[in-house]
């Protein structure tokens, strides 16, 4: 059918062919001008990619009634323009693709149909660890060790880049995925196949939302869903509610973008935005740089929204030029956005869309703050940090409590480090990391940290040598402007040498602490502290020995490192005393906003972006030297402990299997609220007494060779054993933290994997009980794949984080949700019952299903398949099975 929205644009160069674009603003309808900008992008993509969408809707103008469509649960097919992946989630995706090729071939299809049809960029940023720090050659040593540990994984990824079209690998040492996307990969407007259209992206990392700060609509999805998108399957979604977040006022002089995002995170968690879009508007947005906006958008998963969108404005256009993008293409981008009514002026209130709900923040009310000690949404003003930590010490065990006896609050443990005597106490800082794309992408906070370091060194301040300090920038551009502006040397003098270009401490790749420090922490059972400029601080994530972890801006990371403790009131107590006996306070060395902006204007220039990124794919000599096979089908090595053909497609046939009632299931685990994907599938160190460690030992590996769970996501045997293996796991069946549960038939307390194996051998299905926000945190698909392999058929929770629910659907695990007002407590569930979940023959989205207990009690729950497409995946046993059958037939 002819599309009424297609327009032709004359190219700038008469030698170029005419370009087309889809223009919803042609209707000149007030309903279009009231649409949130994020919804305009979704509808444009649906119309451009799917003529059937227009036919189904009938009257084309009806698409503008987005709230009606939302109310009627109309499914919109959304095909993102691009997909991005990082290596922890990218390796299992490529493993799945390789196994899917094998499965399609077995079913008589063409295996090369399993191939990305949209651009997919995989950035290797999750493998490097802080093994070395405070040395001039720390960077090279860490990178060498990264290659030594991960050579097999990297060879496999290089095979993937050759075997699959449209898959580009950004080698290790290049930077962090989201910062590379912001500074280099993002287009804002696509120019492809004769069309202009808005850039959009989904990524296998929850912080993909960072790109929303530049005006590119993007969000995180599980690896399973991303694989389907790469194979051409649209994301079927009901148009979301859009919360308008109005920013007014100007930030105070001492406030950073980190303080703003931590404030917004706490606010929006209280508002409740899970499953919704947040779109920023108001005159305050014009006061924020793109780096500031990207910081706010980056932490979208922490406040629970699907996307955190800043429409494109002139500041966005200026950023494209500043970061070295082609000026002619940038001007084409601007003209296209003007033509389709998508260029925003935040000071013009007549452009404000009609939102589902509006909330407001006066930027002038934001104060310097941190978040912790266990969750990103638990914001604490810096002025209250000492008092808050001391309250947490004695409070009941929980998100804001450590339950330390009052007579132990001032315990001190003496220890020796490198021949000198030191003391540790509750609140002592042992890790201080400037890390994560959340903040290292922002020149203002990075240069602020550098200028603070300069003033600290000049004032005679130092950082105690046992504190593990590190600087891991999100791209080489950061090192470039820190060096050119003259602050790099001062950062190094305080111990903040560059240790690598990757996520590092933010994802738990913090490396080992000195043995004497660990012994002191253990001896005194101390609540030691990590301070990091990251985006997550869940228990057990940053380091096993830091029970309290605080998110802070890069300048505050340095300040707390100098202080050596979180138990300090910066307004009343000095950071330290220099060799002359002078007390130095934080206010004495904190740089002014004018100082920072002057340095930024001088040293953050387009030339450095061009120089770094024009050689990004070829600069790593070790990567270039890797030899990878060129076959289209992967030859699996049975001896490998990194790469293994997964069992997901074993026995798959073209015929569908009718879903069956789950009968007499045991409860494997019973949880409270806020169980994260870090709890379900940890990414960090493999404990020496764990099932995964026993497996690797049986394969001839020593503990030094274990690497991390994240690095072994290409091997299902390791990852199944690593499921629910977090040392901070709290299972209601057990009276202490740890990765164990009760095997009810025998009454034995076993490691979770061992219990699941017993149930599986006896033919017993399993379920998991949980509270609110089940699956919060990272987008990792192994948090769904792992339970699937353990034999978990369903999860019954009070609520789910969006990505994890989608991942469960993708693996064919049923996400069940208690009816409103009900939970395990109101229903009297102990988890010791056996559960029969009735699966009717005819299913519909979000229908109620009956659950029968062996006690004779029955109740209903909502089956959280939210769309007809998700039900189709369920009937196929998961999204990947669906895609294999589709490709094979």
Rounded to whole angstroms, the Cα distance separating 704 from 332 reads 53
Rounded to whole angstroms, the Cα distance separating 496 from 490 reads 9
What Å distances lie between residue 602 and 253, 444, 608, 699, 766, CA to CA? 20, 12, 12, 55, 61
The answer to whether residue 161 scores a pLDDT higher than 80 is yes
Identify the band that residue 609 occupies on the pLDDT scale cut at 50, 70 and 90. Answer: very high
Reported as type and span, the H/E element at residue 420 is: strand 420-425
pLDDT, residue 508, reads 87
Crossing angle (nearest 10°) for helices 606-613 and 314-322: 60
Rounded to whole angstroms, the Cα distance separating 142 from 500 reads 7
pLDDT, residue 58, reads 47
Q: Which of 653, 533, 620, 558 is nearest to 103 (CA)?
A: 653
Buried b (16+ CB within 10 A) or exposed e, 304-326: bbbbbbbbbbebbbebbebbbbe
Any residues with CB less than 8 A from the CB of 19 and at least 6 apart, and which? 8, 9, 11, 191, 194, 195, 196
Q: What are the residues facing 120 on neighbouring strands?
A: 83, 167
Q: How far is CA 351 from the centre of its chain?
A: 32
Any residues with CB less than 8 A from the CB of 618 and at least 6 apart, and which? 624
Any residues with CB less than 8 A from the CB of 1 and at least 6 apart, and which? 51, 54, 55
Tokens of 808: 């469960």
Spatial contact of 531 and 162, defined as CB atoms under 8 Å apart: no
pLDDT, residue 600, reads 94
Spatial contact of 69 and 53, defined as CB atoms under 8 Å apart: no
What Å distances lie between residue 637 and 3, 536, 643, 789, CA to CA? 51, 36, 8, 21
Tokens of 784: 């769904």
Rounded to whole angstroms, the Cα distance separating 263 from 117 reads 40
Comparing 10 with 524, which gets the higher pLDDT? 524
Rounded to whole angstroms, the Cα distance separating 394 from 373 reads 13
Tokens of 483: 């060096």
Q: Which of 142, 178, 148 is nearest to 499 (CA)?
A: 142
Give the three-class secondary structure for 468. strand
| Weakest-pLDDT range from 63-72, 185-194, 305-314, 660-669 | 63-72
Q: What are the residues facing 197 on neighbouring strands?
A: 190
List pLDDT tens digits, range 57-85: 444 555 566 666 666 667 788 899 999 99
List pLDDT tens digits, range 725-760: 998 899 999 988 999 999 999 999 999 999 999 999
CB atoms < 10 A from the CB of 761, how many? 9
Tokens of 160: 């993937």
Q: How far is CA 800 from the centre of its chain?
A: 16
Residue with tokens 């899917």: 100
pLDDT, residue 236, reads 81
Asked if omega into 730 is within 30° of 0 (cis), the reply is: no
The answer to whether residue 237 scores a pLDDT higher than 50 is yes
Identify the band that residue 1 occupies on the pLDDT scale cut at 50, 70 and 90. Answer: very low
Q: What is the mean pLDDT of the chain?
A: 92
Q: Which value, in Å, is the radius of gyration of the alpha carbons in the chain?
A: 27
Comparing 436 with 836, which gets the higher pLDDT? 836
Rounded to whole angstroms, the Cα distance separating 814 from 864 reads 7
Reported as type and span, the H/E element at residue 593 is: helix 593-603
Residue with tokens 């870090």: 678
pLDDT, residue 802, reads 85
Rounded to whole angstroms, the Cα distance separating 854 from 666 reads 10
List pLDDT tens digits, range 544-591: 899 999 999 999 999 999 999 999 999 999 999 988 899 999 999 999
Give the three-class secondary structure for 643. coil
Spatial contact of 874 and 843, defined as CB atoms under 8 Å apart: yes
Rounded to whole angstroms, the Cα distance separating 195 from 766 reads 50
pLDDT, residue 55, reads 45
Please compute the mean of the pLDDT values over residues 588-612 and round it to a whole number.
Answer: 93
Q: Which of 539, 847, 839 is nearest to 678 (CA)?
A: 539
Q: Which of 289, 312, 249, 634 is nearest to 444 (CA)?
A: 289
Question: Concatenated DSSP letters for 210-229?
Answer: GGGGGT-EEEE--HHHHHHH
Tokens of 554: 């890069």
Rounded to whole angstroms, the Cα distance separating 684 from 706 reads 11
| Weakest-pLDDT range from 600-614, 785-799, 852-866 | 600-614
Q: Which of 218, 206, 157 is nearest to 182 (CA)?
A: 218
pLDDT, residue 2, reads 52
Is the pTM higher than 0.85? The answer reads: yes
Ranges assigned E (strand) in 303-354: 307-309
Please compute the mean of the pLDDT values over residues 637-645 and round it to a whole number.
Answer: 95
The answer to whether residue 214 scores a pLDDT higher than 80 is yes
| Weakest-pLDDT range from 341-345, 410-414, 708-712 | 708-712
Q: What are the residues facing 170 on neighbouring strands?
A: 123
List pLDDT tens digits, range 19-72: 677 776 665 555 677 889 999 998 888 877 765 555 454 445 555 666 666 666
Domains and CATH numbers, the chain: 82-365 (3.30.499.10), 369-611 (3.30.499.10), 662-681+723-888 (3.20.19.10)
Give the three-class secondary structure for 58. coil
What Å distances lie between residue 121 and 105, 160, 171, 303, 560, CA to CA? 26, 12, 11, 26, 37
Q: Which of 861, 780, 767 is nearest to 820 (CA)?
A: 861
Ranges assigned E (strand) in 720-842: 740-743, 748-751, 766-769, 792-797, 814-818, 835-837
pLDDT, residue 7, reads 65
Identify the band that residue 195 occupies on the pLDDT scale cut at 50, 70 and 90. Answer: confident
Rounded to whole angstroms, the Cα distance separating 28 from 496 reads 55
Length of the chain: 889
**At CA 529, angle to CA 523 and CA 535, rounded to 5?**
145
Report CA dihedral (52, 200, 158, 472) to the nearest 10 degrees: -160
| Weakest-pLDDT range from 10-24, 223-237, 413-427, 637-651 | 10-24
pLDDT, residue 44, reads 85
Q: Which of 660, 776, 632, 720 is nearest to 162 (CA)?
A: 632
List the end-to-end C-alpha distance of the chain, in Å, as a whole number. Answer: 27
Rounded to whole angstroms, the Cα distance separating 648 from 645 reads 9
Rounded to whole angstroms, the Cα distance separating 497 from 135 reads 7
Q: What are the residues facing 357 on neighbouring strands?
A: 243
Crossing angle (nearest 10°) for helices 802-810 and 782-790: 50
Please compute the mean of the pLDDT values over residues 378-394 and round it to a whole number.
Answer: 97
The answer to whether residue 235 scores a pLDDT higher than 60 is yes
Please compute the mean of the pLDDT values over residues 433-453 and round it to a whole number.
Answer: 94
CB atoms < 10 A from the CB of 615, how many? 12
What Å distances lie between residue 394 and 142, 398, 399, 400, CA to CA? 39, 11, 12, 10
Q: How far is CA 656 from the centre of its chain?
A: 34
Rounded to whole angstroms, the Cα distance separating 132 from 129 reads 8
């Amino acid at each position: 059918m002819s599309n009424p929205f297609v327009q032709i644009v004359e190219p700038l160069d008469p030698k170029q062919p005419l370009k087309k674009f889809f223009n919803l603003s042609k209707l000149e309808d007030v309903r279009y001008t009231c649409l949130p900008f994020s919804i305009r992008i979704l509808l444009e993509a649906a119309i451009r990619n799917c003529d059937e969408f227009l036919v189904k809707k009938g009257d084309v103008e009806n698409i503008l009634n987005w709230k009606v469509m939302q109310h009627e649960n109309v499914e919109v097919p959304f095909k993102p323009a691009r997909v991005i992946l990082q290596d922890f989630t990218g390796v299992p995706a490529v493993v799945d693709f390789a196994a899917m090729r094998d499965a399609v071939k077995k079913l008589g299809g063409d295996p090369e149909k399993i191939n990305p049809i949209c651009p997919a960029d995989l950035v290797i940023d999750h493998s490097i660890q802080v093994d070395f720090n405070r040395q001039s050659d720390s960077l090279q040593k860490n990178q060498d060790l990264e290659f030594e540990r991960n050579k097999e994984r990297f060879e496999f990824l290089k095979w993937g880049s050759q075997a699959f079209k449209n898959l580009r690998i950004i080698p290790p040492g290049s930077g962090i995925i989201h910062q590379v996307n912001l500074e280099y990969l993002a287009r804002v407007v696509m120019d492809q196949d004769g069309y202009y259209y808005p850039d959009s992206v989904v990524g296998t990392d929850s912080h993909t939302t960072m790109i929303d700060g530049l005006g590119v609509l993007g969000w995180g999805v599980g690896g399973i869903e991303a694989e389907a998108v790469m194979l051409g399957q649209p994301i079927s979604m009901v148009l979301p509610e859009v919360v308008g977040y109005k920013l007014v006022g100007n930030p105070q002089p001492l406030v950073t973008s980190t303080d703003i995002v931590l404030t917004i995170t706490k606010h929006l968690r209280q508002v409740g935005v899970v499953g919704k879009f947040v779109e920023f508007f108001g005159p305050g947005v014009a006061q924020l740089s793109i780096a500031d906006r990207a910081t706010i958008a980056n932490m979208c998963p922490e406040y629970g929204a699907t996307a955190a969108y800043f429409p494109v404005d002139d500041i966005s256009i200026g950023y494209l030029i500043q970061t070295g993008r082609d000026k002619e293409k940038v001007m084409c981008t601007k003209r296209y956005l003007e033509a389709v009514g998508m260029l925003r002026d935040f000071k013009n209130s007549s452009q404000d869309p009609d939102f589902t709900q509006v909330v407001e923040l006066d930027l002038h009310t934001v104060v310097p703050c941190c978040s912790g000690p266990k969750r990103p949404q638990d914001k604490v003003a810096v002025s209250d940090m000492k008092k808050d930590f001391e309250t947490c010490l004695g409070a009941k065990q929980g998100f804001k409590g450590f339950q330390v006896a009052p007579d132990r609050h001032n315990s001190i443990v003496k220890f020796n480090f490198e021949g000198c005597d030191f003391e540790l106490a509750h609140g002592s800082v042992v890790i201080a990391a400037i890390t994560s794309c959340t903040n290292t992408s922002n020149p203002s906070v990075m240069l602020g940290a550098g200028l603070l370091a300069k003033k600290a060194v000049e004032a005679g301040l130092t950082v105690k040598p046992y504190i593990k300090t590190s600087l891991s920038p999100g791209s080489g551009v950061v090192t470039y402007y820190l060096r050119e502006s003259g602050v790099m040397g001062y950062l190094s003098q305080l111990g903040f040498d560059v240790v690598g270009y990757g996520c590092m401490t933010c994802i738990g790749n913090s490396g080992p602490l000195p043995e004497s420090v660990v012994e002191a922490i253990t001896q005194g059972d101390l609540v030691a502290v990590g301070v990091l400029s990251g985006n997550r601080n869940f228990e057990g994530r940053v380091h096993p020995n830091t029970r309290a972890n605080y998110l802070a801006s890069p300048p505050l990371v340095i300040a707390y490192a100098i202080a050596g403790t979180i138990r300090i009131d910066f307004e009343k107590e000095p950071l330290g005393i220099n060799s002359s006996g002078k007390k130095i306070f934080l206010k004495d060395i904190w740089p002014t906003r004018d100082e920072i902006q002057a340095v930024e204007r001088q040293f953050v220039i387009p030339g450095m972006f061009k120089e770094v990124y024009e050689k990004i794919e070829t600069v790593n000599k070790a990567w270039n030297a890797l030899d990878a096979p060129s076959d289209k089908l992967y030859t699996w090595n049975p001896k490998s402990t990194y790469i293994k053909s997964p069992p997901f497609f074993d026995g798959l046939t073209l015929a569908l299997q009718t879903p069956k009632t789950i009968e007499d299931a045991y409860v494997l685990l019973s949880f409270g609220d806020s169980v994260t994907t870090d709890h379900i599938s940890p990414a960090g160190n493999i404990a020496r007494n764990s099932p995964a460690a026993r497996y690797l030992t049986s394969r001839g590996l020593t503990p030094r060779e274990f690497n991390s769970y994240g690095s072994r996501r290409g091997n299902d045997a390791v990852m199944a054993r690593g499921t629910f293996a977090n040392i901070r796991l709290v299972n209601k069946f057990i009276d202490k933290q740890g990765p164990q549960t009760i095997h009810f038939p025998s009454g034995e307390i076993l490691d979770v994997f061992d219990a699941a194996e017993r149930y599986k051998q006896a033919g017993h299905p399993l379920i998991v009980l949980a509270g609110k926000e089940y699956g919060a945190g990272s987008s990792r698909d192994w948090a769904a794949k792992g339970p699937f392999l353990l034999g978990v058929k369903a999860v019954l929770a009070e609520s789910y984080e969006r990505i994890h629910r989608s991942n469960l659907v993708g693996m064919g695990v049923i996400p069940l949700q208690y009816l409103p007002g009900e939970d395990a407590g109101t229903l009297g569930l102990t988890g010791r019952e056996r559960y029969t979940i009735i699966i009717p023959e005819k299913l519909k989205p979000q229908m109620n299903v009956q659950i029968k207990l062996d006690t004779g009690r029955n109740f209903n729950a909502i089956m959280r398949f939210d769309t007809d497409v998700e039900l189709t995946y369920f009937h196929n046993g998961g999204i990947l099975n669906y895609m294999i059958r589709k490709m094979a037939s």
